[in-house]
């Protein structure tokens, strides 16, 4: 599971240019005209190839700044470093970038949608040891430029606050009824997912419509890919917070997860604190902020998640249908 996927034909070059399948589905969504715009990061040495690919599919492209020293932990010590959450990098001008620096690009079929995404799409970088964060209103408006549903943007505005909330847990609490696999955002940084936004609930109607439309369109071009995505999205998941998430080969029955294999599915493998512990067992359940792990019915480990002031871990189990 979770191996890199190469499409048979449609947008196949995207992967060789990027050396990764990350955001392939979003690229397809823009090409298919379902998503108005997206942003991505392309190595400078392969930018010309990427531009040619965009032109081949009728897409317009706009460059922003280059990202250098990505994920260098010393960046966190810059002025404002504490405000950085996921990707951290030094920002440099494209003309000064090295071949392996990543260029932040925006792509769209329409000039207007491209400009709208670009103006609101600054991604925080450090320049001269200082984090340059965009105005908060741009962050909120960026979601519209990327085609996210209004209800999800509003929910994000309230709950994307790492000091006060676990955003994913809030989505879980806001879900009434069966979670739909079309609203599964956990694998968004891999190829196996139809959405790249955080939905307002795991059965948000607007998200289901959007993701369903995309699924049907991709199915016509790459039916095998759709089969694989569906399979991955319907696995059981144990979520701690946005950077600590696991998928399992198994099944949830009566609030207990019975499993064989564990996969870490968040972006940064270095923040994978529990895989070894989880592998010790074959069954687990969540109780009062604790994950209790069993092996053949006997308790083998407990993961405690006390309340914290930043990136609060609020574990929960979920399986989408």
Partner 1 sequence: MAKNPFILIQKEFKKIAGFDLKLRRTNLLIDQIERRDNLFEDLSRLYFDNPLKVKKLEKSLKRWLSLNLSEELETLFSLAGYVFYLEENFKKAKKFFLKAISSNSDNYDNWRDLAFSLRHLGENDIAYGIFFNFDYIVYYYKYLELEGISYQELKKLILKINKEANAKKNKSAKN
| Angle separating helix axes 111-120 and 136-145, nearest 10 degrees | 150
One of 130, 173, 279, 299 touching partner 1 (CB under 8 A): 130
One of 9, 73, 93, 298 touching partner 1 (CB under 8 A): 93
One of 67, 106, 122, 123 touching partner 1 (CB under 8 A): 122
How many residues at the interface with partner 1, by CB under 8 A? 26
Residue 78 corresponds to which tokens in the numbers above? 């810059």
Cβ distance to partner 1 smaller for residue 95 or 254: 95
Task: Name residues whose C-beta falls within 8 Å of residue 194's C-beta, 6 or more positions apart in sequence.
Answer: 25, 182, 211, 214, 215, 229, 233
CB of 240 to partner 1, least distance (A): 27
Residue 310 in the binding site for partner 1 (CB under 8 A): no
How many Cα atoms occupy the beta-carbon half-sphere of 288 within 13 Å? 0
Partners of 163 in the β-ladder: none
Residue 136 in the binding site for partner 1 (CB under 8 A): yes
Question: Are β-strands 102-108 and 90-92 bridged in parallel, bridged antiparallel, or unpaired?
Answer: unpaired
Partners of 293 in the β-ladder: 284, 301
Residue 157 in the binding site for partner 1 (CB under 8 A): yes
Residue 291 in the binding site for partner 1 (CB under 8 A): no
Residue 99 in the binding site for partner 1 (CB under 8 A): no
Residue 292 in the binding site for partner 1 (CB under 8 A): no
Cβ distance to partner 1 smaller for residue 92 or 294: 92
Binding mask 69-88 for partner 1 (x = CB under 8 A): ----------xx--x-----
CB of 27 to partner 1, least distance (A): 24
Residue 300 in the binding site for partner 1 (CB under 8 A): no
Rounded to an integer, what is the distance from CA 209 to the centroid of its chain?
A: 19
CB of 65 to partner 1, least distance (A): 7
Sole window of 123-131, 163-171, 287-295, 310-318 interacting with partner 1 (rule: CB under 8 A): 123-131
Task: Name residues whose C-beta falls within 8 Å of residue 54's C-beta, 6 or more positions apart in sequence.
Answer: 60, 61, 107
Whether 225 and 253 have beta carbons less than 8 Å apart is answered as: no
Rounded to an integer, what is the distance from CA 185 to the centroid of its chain?
A: 6
One of 9, 73, 96, 254 touching partner 1 (CB under 8 A): 96
Residue 91 in the binding site for partner 1 (CB under 8 A): yes
E strand residue ranges, 98-184: 102-108, 125-127, 130-132
Residue 138 in the binding site for partner 1 (CB under 8 A): yes
Residue 65 in the binding site for partner 1 (CB under 8 A): yes
One of 17, 51, 70, 92 touching partner 1 (CB under 8 A): 92
List, as own/partner pairs, every contact residues 276-282 make where C-beta atoms lie below 8 angstroms and the sequence separation is at least 24, other chains included.
277/301, 277/303, 278/238, 278/246, 282/258
Residue 127 in the binding site for partner 1 (CB under 8 A): yes
Cβ distance to partner 1 smaller for residue 81 or 290: 81
The label of the residue with tokens 């085609």 reads: 147
Rounded to an integer, what is the distance from CA 7 to the centroid of its chain?
A: 20
Instruction: List residues binding partner 1 (CB under 8 A).
Output: 65, 79-80, 83, 91-93, 95-96, 115, 119, 122, 127-128, 130-138, 140, 154, 157
């Amino acid at each position: 599971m979770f191996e890199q996927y190469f499409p048979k034909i449609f947008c196949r070059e995207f992967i060789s240019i990027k050396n990764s399948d990350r955001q392939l589905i979003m690229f397809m969504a823009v090409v298919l005209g379902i998503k108005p715009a997206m942003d991505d990061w392309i190595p400078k040495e392969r930018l010309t190839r990427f531009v040619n690919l965009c032109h081949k599919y009728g897409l317009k492209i706009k460059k922003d700044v280059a990202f250098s020293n990505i994920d260098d932990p010393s960046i966190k010590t810059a002025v404002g470093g504490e405000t950085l959450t996921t990707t951290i990098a030094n920002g440099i001008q494209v003309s000064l970038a090295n071949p392996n620096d990543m260029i932040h690009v925006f792509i769209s079929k329409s000039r207007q949608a491209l400009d709208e995404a670009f103006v609101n799409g600054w991604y925080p970088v450090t320049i001269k040891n200082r984090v340059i964060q965009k105005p908060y209103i741009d962050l909120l408006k960026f979601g519209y430029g990327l085609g996210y549903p209004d209800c999800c943007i509003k929910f994000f505005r309230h709950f994307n606050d790492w000091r006060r909330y676990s955003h994913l847990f809030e989505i879980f609490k806001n879900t009434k009824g069966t979670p739909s696999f079309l609203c599964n955002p956990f694998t968004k940084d891999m190829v196996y997912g139809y959405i790249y936004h955080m939905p307002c609930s795991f059965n948000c109607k607007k998200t289901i419509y959007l993701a369903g439309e995309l699924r049907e369109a991709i199915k016509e071009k790459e039916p095998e890919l759709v089969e694989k995505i569906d399979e991955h999205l319907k696995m059981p998941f144990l979520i701690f917070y946005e950077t600590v998430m696991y998928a399992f080969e198994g099944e949830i029955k009566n609030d207990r997860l019975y499993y064989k294999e564990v996969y870490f599915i968040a972006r940064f493998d270095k923040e994978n604190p529990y895989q070894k512990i989880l592998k010790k067992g074959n069954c687990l359940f969540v109780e009062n902020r604790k994950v209790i792990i069993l092996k053949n019915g006997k308790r083998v480990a407990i993961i405690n998640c006390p309340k914290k002031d930043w990136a609060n871990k609020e574990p929960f189990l979920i399986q989408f249908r």
